[in-house]
């Protein structure tokens, strides 16, 4: 089975999560390609898609929206799984908030997405320019701005478990 893990990432966090998921899916014998959405010219020949986007100002990155728009007709023919990375999720009620507000249901339904998930991401302020800091500070919609913005909230066990659940959904068997 050939799987494409395609990600929209501004600062690398979502890309690293995608690479981790690709490696997890490979342990089930899948042939996995992991790539940034901007670099993908064709989605032909894949049997399933795992798509992930960072959240900026409450929405998916524009590069993911362009990717979905461009390949919608092909994506919808195959199993699609979708995740976001963000920091709102680590607050109280974060998961529910993210699922309600950061998931664009009409798009997910249009693509017949089989599973959605949201993971804690990471922010490294030294990598974020001043425009982005303003956006993060002004538009970030949490009830409290994270006290530790400069932090890595990724939970690799949760991410790995989701990759395993995708493998199971695709009826892949572990090779380990």
Ligand X SMILES: Cc1cc2nc3c(=O)[nH]c(=O)nc-3n(C[C@H](O)[C@H](O)[C@H](O)COP(=O)(O)O)c2cc1C
- Please give the structure tokens belonging to residue 3: 């799987």
Name the residue with the smallest CB distance to ligand X.
121
State the number of CA atoms in the 13 A half-sphere of 107 facing the CB: 18
- Rounded to a whole number of angstroms, the minimum distance from the CB of residue 19 to ligand X is 11
Beta bridge partner(s), residue 3: 32, 48
- Using the minimum distance from each CB to ligand X, give the nearer residue, 13 or 117: 13
Residue 104 is a binding residue for ligand X (CB under 6 A): no
- Rounded to a whole number of angstroms, the minimum distance from the CB of residue 35 to ligand X is 14
* C-alpha span between 118 and 116 (Å, rounded): 7
- Please give the structure tokens belonging to residue 62: 């524009």
Residue 56 is a binding residue for ligand X (CB under 6 A): yes
Residue 70 is a binding residue for ligand X (CB under 6 A): no
Q: Are 163 and 17 in contact (CB under 8 A)?
A: no
> From the list 3, 4, 9, 113, which residue makes contact with ligand X (rule: CB under 6 A)?
9
> From the list 27, 132, 160, 170, which residue makes contact with ligand X (rule: CB under 6 A)?
132
Helices (H), 10-147: 13-26, 62-75, 94-101, 105-110, 130-139
- Using the minimum distance from each CB to ligand X, give the nearer residue, 108 or 135: 135
Binding residues vs ligand X (CB under 6 A): 9-15, 54-58, 85-88, 121-123, 128, 132, 135-136, 140-141
């Amino acid at each position: 089975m050939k799987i494409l893990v395609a990600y929209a990432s501004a600062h690398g966090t979502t890309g690293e999560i995608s690479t981790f998921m690709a490696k997890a899916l490979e342990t089930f014998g899948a042939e996995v390609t992991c790539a940034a959405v901007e670099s993908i010219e064709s989605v032909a020949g894949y049997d399933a898609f795992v798509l992930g986007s960072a959240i900026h100002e409450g929405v998916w990155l524009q590069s993911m929206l362009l990717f979905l728009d461009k390949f919608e007709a092909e994506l919808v023919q195959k199993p699609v799984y979708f995740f976001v990375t963000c920091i709102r999720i680590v607050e109280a009620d974060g998961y529910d908030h993210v699922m309600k507000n950061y998931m664009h249901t009409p798009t997910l339904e249009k693509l017949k997405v089989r599973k959605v998930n949201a993971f804690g991401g990471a922010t490294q302020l030294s990598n974020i320019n001043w425009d982005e800091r303003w956006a993060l500070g002004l538009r970030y919609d949490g009830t409290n701005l994270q006290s530790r913005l400069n932090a890595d909230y990724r939970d690799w066990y949760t991410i790995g478990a989701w990759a395993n659940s995708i493998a199971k959904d695709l009826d892949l068997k572990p090779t380990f």
